[in-house]
C-alpha cells in the first residue's frame, strides 16, 4: 500500500449518521476540506431506510440543499487497517446553506439535549456505549468467553484495539461473548456527545477491519433468530457543574442521588416511546424478549441483566471510590439506533424526570418473576412494546417525547419504520434476521 507522505493527501470522509443508523457522507483530500463550509448534502438523504431506498411520504424530495459542517474536534485518523491506506473521518452537523442548524440533524438533536440539561440543572452526562457484534462464520464456534475464541481470530484483537486506541476511541475490553461468533468491545466513558461520536465511529471501524481481513462483522440486533442478540447498551452517569460525579448518594434509596433517581424515573416513564428510537428495527423486538439478558421489561434493577435500566456493579476494593464508578446502564438499545438520537432521547427523558421531580424508582434486587403483583406495581415494572409497530404507536401516543423533535424528523422516522415493516411482511424470523445482517 502506497503511504501518502503528507496527511493533506489522505482522504477525509465528512460524515453524518442518519435515522437508519448508517454513516453517510462525502470524501475529499484532507487538504481540500474547508472546515468552515464543509461540503454539500441533500435533505432527502435523511429519508433513506435501512434497505437502501428513500421512503415515500416524507417532507423532502428532489429540491433543496444543505451543508455537512465538520466538527473539527472530531477529526479522527484511522490507520492500520490491513491493506488499506489511512483515512480520516470528521463528524458533521447538518446545516442549511446559510449555516443555520437543520432541524432534522440527529447530532444537533443531541447537542441541544446536552445544552438544555446543562442550562436547566447544571448537570452533564458522562457515558459509554458497549458494543456487541457477530463475526459471520459457518465454522463451529469456539466456547463462549474462551481463550481459544480470543486467539482464534488473532491478530484481529491486537490490531483492532491498536487502531481504536490510535484513533482516540479509548478501547477497554475485547471479549468473546456468549453467542456463537459473538464479540464485545467496550470503550472508556466520556462526555455524552463524544461517547455517541465514538459509537458512530467504532461500528464502521470494526466493519472496515473485518472486510479488510476477509470477514464480515454484523452489529445487527439478531443475526440468528435462535441465538444471542447484539445489544448497544449505554452506560450513563451524571456530573455536576464542576465535573464531580453526581450519581451516587449512599444515604438515598437505591444509592442514587436525587437527580439520578429522577433521571432514571424519566427514562422509565417514557420507555415505550423511547425504544422506537433506541431499538428501532423490526427484529429489535425479537431481541427484547425474556431470558436473552437484553431487556425484557422496563424497571430499574440492581445488577440484573434482564432489567431495562440496571444499576451497575462497582469495584469495592483497593481503595476505589464508589462515586466516580457508579452508573446506570440502559440495555434496550441496539445498533439499528442512531447513537446521537439514542443518547439525546435518554438525556431528554432524564431531564423530564428531573423537571418533574420524579422520585427514584424502586430498585428491584431480585428476578422479576419472584415479585408479587403488589411489588411489581410498586416498582413500576412494565412490559416493553412487543413489536416495532407497537413501539411506533407508543411514540405516536407520547406527546412529550414527540415534542423533543422537529415534526419533520419524527414524521420521517415513522415513514422509514413503517416502510421497513412493510418490506418484511411475510418473511420468517430467520429471513428477517438475514435481511438485517447485511445492513448492520
Q: Which three cell numbers stand for residue 380?
A: 413500576
Contact with ligand GLU (CB under 6 A): which of 198, 287, 414, 432? 287
User: Nearest distance from residue 350's CB to Mg ion, in Å?
Assistant: 23
What is the per-residue binding string for ligand GLU in 84-123, x denoting contact by CB under 6 A?
A: ----------------------------------------
Dihedral sign, Cα of residue 277, residue 281, residue 286, residue 287: negative
Contacts of 63 (CB under 8 A, 6+ apart): none
Are 194 and 107 within 8 A, CB to CB?
Answer: no
Instruction: Give the CA-trace dihedral at 397, 401, 407, 409, to 10 degrees.
Output: -110
Residue 276 CA to residue 284 CA, distance in Å, equals 10
User: Nearest distance from residue 329's CB to Mg ion, in Å?
Assistant: 10
Q: Which three cell numbers stand for residue 6?
A: 503528507
Residue 126 CA to residue 312 CA, distance in Å, equals 14
Q: Which three cell numbers stand for residue 275?
A: 425504544
Q: In 3D, which of 133, 324, 105 has the Cα closest to residue 227?
A: 133
Residues that bind ligand GLU (rule: CB under 6 A) add up to a total of 11
Selection from Mg ion, ligand GLU, none that 229 binds (CB < 5 to 8 A by kind) is ligand GLU
User: Nearest distance from residue 298's CB to ligand GLU, in Å?
Assistant: 15
User: Nearest distance from residue 371's CB to ligand GLU, in Å?
Assistant: 21
Selection from Mg ion, ligand GLU, none that 121 binds (CB < 5 to 8 A by kind) is none
| Binding to Mg ion in span 162-221, by CB under 5 A | 184
Are 338 and 21 within 8 A, CB to CB?
Answer: yes
Q: What is the DSSP string of 324-384?
A: TT--EEE-S--TTS-HHHHHHHHHHHHHHHHHTTPPPPPEE-S-GGGS-HHHHHHHT-EEP
Nearer to Mg ion, 229 or 350 (CB): 229
**Residue 305 near ligand GLU by CB under 6 A:** yes
**Residue 333 near ligand GLU by CB under 6 A:** no
Contact with ligand GLU (CB under 6 A): which of 121, 124, 186, 294? 294
Residues in the chain, how many? 440
Pairing mode, strands 39-41 and 66-70: antiparallel
Nearer to ligand GLU, 11 or 175 (CB): 175
Pairing mode, strands 190-191 and 124-135: antiparallel
Contact with ligand GLU (CB under 6 A): which of 220, 228, 257, 262? 228
User: Nearest distance from residue 8's CB to Mg ion, in Å?
Assistant: 40
Binding span for ligand GLU by CB under 6 A among 207-215, 266-274, 291-299, 414-422: 291-299
Residue 270: alpha-carbon gap to chain centroid: 17
Nearer to Mg ion, 51 or 293 (CB): 293
In the complex, which residue's CB is closest to Mg ion?
184
In 192-257, alpha helices (H)? 192-212
Selection from Mg ion, ligand GLU, none that 262 binds (CB < 5 to 8 A by kind) is none
In the complex, which residue's CB is closest to ligand GLU?
231
Q: Which three cell numbers stand for residue 417?
A: 419504520
Contact with ligand GLU (CB under 6 A): which of 171, 229, 337, 344? 229
Phi-psi region of 417 (alpha: psi -120 to 50; beta: other; left: phi over 0): alpha
Q: In 3D, which of 279, 224, 225 has the Cα closest to residue 417?
A: 279
Are 299 and 379 within 8 A, CB to CB?
Answer: yes
Nearer to ligand GLU, 132 or 249 (CB): 132
User: Nearest distance from residue 130's CB to ligand GLU, in Å?
Assistant: 7
**Residue 420 near ligand GLU by CB under 6 A:** no
Binding span for ligand GLU by CB under 6 A among 196-204, 227-235, 240-248, 336-344: 227-235
**Residue 293 near ligand GLU by CB under 6 A:** yes
Nearer to ligand GLU, 47 or 229 (CB): 229
Selection from Mg ion, ligand GLU, none that 305 binds (CB < 5 to 8 A by kind) is ligand GLU
Residue 106 CA to residue 95 CA, distance in Å, equals 11
**Residue 327 near ligand GLU by CB under 6 A:** no
Burial class (CB in 10 A: 0-12, 13-18, 19+), 183: buried
User: Nearest distance from residue 292's CB to ligand GLU, in Å?
Assistant: 6
- End-to-end Cα distance, the chain: 28
| Binding to ligand GLU in span 129-188, by CB under 6 A | 132
Residues that bind ligand GLU (CB under 6 A): 132, 228-231, 287, 292-294, 305, 331
Residues that bind Mg ion (CB under 5 A): 184
Amino acid at each position: 500500500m502506497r503511504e501518502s507522505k503528507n496527511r493533506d493527501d489522505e482522504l477525509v470522509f465528512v460524515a453524518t449518521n442518519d435515522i437508519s443508523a448508517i454513516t453517510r457522507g462525502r470524501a475529499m483530500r484532507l487538504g481540500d476540506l474547508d472546515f468552515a463550509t464543509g461540503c454539500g448534502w441533500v435533505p432527502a438523504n435523511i429519508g433513506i431506510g435501512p434497505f437502501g431506498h428513500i421512503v415515500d411520504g416524507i417532507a423532502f424530495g428532489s429540491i433543496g440543499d444543505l451543508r455537512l459542517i465538520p466538527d473539527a474536534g472530531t477529526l479522527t485518523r484511522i490507520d492500520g487497517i490491513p491493506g488499506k491506506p489511512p483515512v480520516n473521518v470528521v463528524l458533521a452537523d447538518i446545516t442549511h446553506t446559510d449555516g443555520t442548524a437543520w432541524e432534522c440533524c440527529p447530532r444537533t438533536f443531541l447537542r441541544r439535549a446536552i445544552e438544555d440539561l446543562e442550562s436547566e440543572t447544571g448537570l452533564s452526562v458522562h457515558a459509554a456505549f458497549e458494543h456487541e457484534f457477530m463475526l459471520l462464520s459457518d465454522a463451529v464456534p469456539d466456547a463462549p468467553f474462551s481463550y481459544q475464541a480470543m486467539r482464534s481470530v488473532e491478530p484481529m484483537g491486537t490490531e483492532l484495539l491498536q487502531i481504536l486506541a490510535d484513533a482516540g476511541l479509548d478501547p477497554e475490553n475485547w471479549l468473546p461473548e456468549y453467542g456463537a461468533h459473538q464479540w464485545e468491545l467496550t470503550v472508556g466513558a466520556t462526555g455524552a456527545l463524544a461517547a455517541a461520536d465514538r459509537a458512530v465511529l467504532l461500528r464502521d471501524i470494526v466493519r472496515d477491519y473485518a472486510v479488510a481481513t476477509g470477514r464480515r462483522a454484523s452489529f445487527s440486533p439478531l443475526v440468528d433468530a435462535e441465538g444471542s442478540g447484539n445489544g448497544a447498551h449505554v452506560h450513563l452517569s451524571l456530573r455536576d457543574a464542576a465535573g464531580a460525579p453526581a450519581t451516587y448518594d449512599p444515604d438515598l434509596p437505591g444509592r442514587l442521588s436525587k437527580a439520578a433517581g429522577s433521571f432514571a424515573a424519566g427514562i422509565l416513564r417514557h420507555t415505550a416511546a423511547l425504544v422506537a428510537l433506541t431499538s428501532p428495527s423490526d427484529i429489535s423486538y425479537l431481541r427484547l424478549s425474556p431470558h436473552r439478558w437484553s431487556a425484557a421489561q422496563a424497571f430499574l434493577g440492581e445488577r440484573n441483566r434482564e432489567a431495562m435500566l440496571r444499576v451497575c456493579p462497582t469495584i469495592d476494593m483497593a481503595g476505589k471510590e464508589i462515586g466516580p464508578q457508579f452508573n446506570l446502564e440502559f440495555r434496550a438499545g441496539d445498533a439499528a439506533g442512531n447513537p446521537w438520537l439514542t443518547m439525546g432521547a435518554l438525556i431528554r427523558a432524564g431531564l423530564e424526570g428531573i423537571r418533574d421531580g420524579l422520585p427514584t424508582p424502586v430498585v428491584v434486587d431480585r428476578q422479576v418473576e419472584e415479585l408479587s403483583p403488589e411489588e411489581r406495581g410498586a416498582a413500576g415494572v412494565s412490559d416493553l412494546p412487543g413489536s416495532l409497530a407497537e413501539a411506533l404507536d407508543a411514540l405516536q401516543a407520547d406527546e412529550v417525547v414527540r415534542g423533543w423533535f422537529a415534526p419533520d424528523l419524527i414524521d420521517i422516522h415513522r415513514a422509514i419504520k413503517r416502510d421497513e415493516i412493510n418490506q418484511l411482511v411475510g418473511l420468517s424470523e430467520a429471513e428477517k434476521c438475514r435481511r438485517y445482517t447485511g445492513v448492520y
